[in-house]
Structure 1
Amino acid sequence: MKAFVYGANGAEIVDVAKPAPKATQVLVRVRANGLNRADLGMTKGHAHGSAGGVGAVLGMEWAGEVAELGPDAEGVQVGDRVMGSGAAAFAEYTLADHGRLFHIPSTSNMSFEEAATYPVALATMHNAVVTNGALQPGQTVLVQGASSGVGLMAMQIAKLKGAKLVIGSSTDAARRERLQEFGADIAVDSSDPGWVDQVLKATDGEGVDLIVDQVSGKVANQNLAATRIKGRIVNVGRLGGTHGDFNFDLHAARRIQYIGVTFRTRSIEEIREIFRQVRDDIWPAVESGTLKLPIDKVYPFGDIVRAFEHMEANRHLGKIVVRQ
């Protein structure tokens, strides 16, 4: 089968053996893939937890049809239209645990391309906003890096769960102008030294209840200053750097809960629980189209290198998808 693999010549499409499902695994005929920032690093040879590296089939998000079941797989049948996440997704066929997928809603006309935009964003941001962020109705939220697919989903989930004020950040003026389409009441530029003052003004000087941070690094201390006393910061991504100055005194004085999250160190049991929580809590909003992401551009699988060039240019809003 064809797959996008990192090898001696970099990332390229090559022929590899078709996998076979074992235990609770499901074999999926992939029809579309969503691209993610972590994928971009792996195309350059970087590891992402246990994924990536020489010889690895890349990719982590897909939509397609169930082709075969492992002997212990439950809750799914051959022929089902599904979407999910897991390693080695950029291929004609991929394996997924039966608890790490969603059924594509039968009540809508959702395409495979549309379905491929959902899994990572839903699982990541429900866990960040609701489970770890403990957002309550009437509270205020700042999403750092709001113009990414997961950022746009975070704002929508915050609104769905009753946030009274949602602030989104983007360093790109054109993308800031569009954040209100996805739940933002206010858009700020995190590269502008005055953004903290804008957040404080919007929250009557108190700061936000919750920051969902995909930037980290250079904005760490500004985040502390923009968070209210006894507020929460959930560290989801590190687009602004994995290291930075941190004002421990301000952190302590404001009694901020600083929570780190990643899928890289979670067990399959933990991941299954995250997917279950999404299904139980917000799935009706997916079925109705209340939660959805824009597709910036769709490329054929043969042009996946061009798709990543488009991502690296960093001018897109929402998801970049490849079609198989």
Structure 2
Amino acid sequence: MDITAAVVRSFDHPPRYESFDLPATTGEDEVVLDVLAVGLHPRVRTGASGRHYTSTGKLPMVPGVDGVGRLSDGHLVYFVADDELTGPMATRTVVDARRCIPLPETVDVVKVAAAMNPAMSSWVALRRRVPIQPGQSVLVLGATGNAGQMAIQVAKRLGAGRVVGAGRDRERLALLPKIGADATVALTDDANATDAALAEAAAEVDLVIDYLWGKPAASAIMALLLGRSDRGRELNWIQIGAMAGPTIELPSVALRSANFRLQGNGQGAVSARAYLQELPSLTNEIDRGGIAVTARALPLADVESVWTATEVPGVRTVLVTGEV
């Protein structure tokens, strides 16, 4: 089946909009759908560059991890792409019907395509990885990014009593109280001042959602543990993103001198089935405005120029195949 799609033929070049041969369905659960909207998430970019840990290195490929589409029977769905199938940045694609979540016809497809992926990380982390208890406190490290901003809202929606947001962008940091942050911490180049501010604002939190990793995470871990009044009280650190670097250097005493649990959340850490079970409640939350997102819709046909354009801070780009 000949379609048009964003096609990656080299990891060193942005996808080009061109004709592509869509493979036929092979399993009884595979269906073809018309794609309406696909989010251009950071996860999509790393996959298209071959740098994501799930990358097979196989080319050509059509990128994307999720989207909104319409099945042949007319039903509107949110879907999660299967790593073994053609990606969703195309006019049509093959999906596993078991990975499709029904959507109401009134839904804002651009908003859903924009919000599901970044919101899913914290939603699943706080419901499946370390289920949050009502009233617990949360630190979001990397709170000025899109996923971090949503994590603040997600934590509040799931019952957090206090949420602290930490990030570098001071302008966006100042906006966090409007979406639920009870306190904020600026991550600066002054390591001592930053550690002191983190210890003062967040040493007693119960959970940390970390989108940064690298040096900021290593410093924050020690600042929180050293500032904690009771090191025997459990601190759960959930590692999700690595915007500040793929590795950290952490003293072994951090693991021996406190009740500190370090774990990750992502593909493999939580089963695909568990992720899918969480999606209906998350789509409902986004649809009714419980989690805010700012999105811009651009034509899929312009993918090559959109890919290299400067991202607008706080705005999620969504590629659409027509009018939505």
* TM bucket, shorter chain: 0.7 to 0.9
Distance 1:53 1:252 in 2: 42
The residue that corresponds to 1:5 in the other structure is 7
> TM-score, normalization: structure 1?
0.84
Contact 2:39–2:319 (Cα < 8 Å) also in 1: yes
Distance in 2 (alpha carbons) for counterparts of 1:167 and 1:314: 25
Pair 55,168 (structure 1): closer, same or farther in 2 beyond 3 Å: same
- When residues 111 and 154 of structure 1 are mapped into structure 2, their CA distance, relative to the original with a 3 A threshold, is same
Correspondence list, 1:1-324, <5 A: 1-8=3-10, 10=13, 11-21=15-25, 22-50=27-55, 53-67=58-72, 78-86=73-81, 87=83, 88-106=87-105, 109-192=106-189, 193=191, 194-203=193-202, 206-224=203-221, 225-226=223-224, 228=228, 229=231, 230-263=234-267, 265=268, 270-279=271-280, 282=282, 284-295=284-295, 297-310=296-309, 313=310, 315-324=312-321
Distance 1:84 1:94, change over 3 A: same
- Report the aligned-residue RMSD: 2.4
Return closer, same or farther for 1:52/1:13 CA change in 2, 3 Å cut-off: farther
Gaps in structure 2 of 5+ consecutive residues:
none
Once the two structures are superposed, what CA deviation does each residue of 1:181-228 show, in whole Å capped at 9, x if it has no partner?
Answer: 33222232233423332233235xx43211111110112322313255
Amino acid at match of 1:272: R
In structure 1, distance between residues paired with 2:216 and 2:255: 14
CA distance in structure 2 between the aligned counterparts of 1:83 and 1:198, rounded to whole angstroms: 41
TM-score normalised over the length of structure 2: 0.84
Query: What are the ranges of 5 or more consecutive residues in structure 1 without an aligned counterpart?
Result: 68-77
Q: State the aligned residue count.
A: 303
Higher relative contact order (CA 8 A, sep 6+): 2
CA contact 1:32–1:113 (8 Å) conserved in 2: yes
- Could you tell me how far apart the structure 1 residues matched to 2:218 and 2:101 are? 38
In the alignment, what sits opposite 1:70? Answer: none
Q: Distance in 2 between matches of 1:5 and 1:322?
A: 14
Cα 1:304–1:179 change in 2 (3 A) is farther
Partner amino acid for 2:242? R
SS in 1 for 2:206: strand
Change (3 A) 1:182 1:61: farther
Paired residues of 1:105 and 1:287 also in contact (CA < 8 A):
no
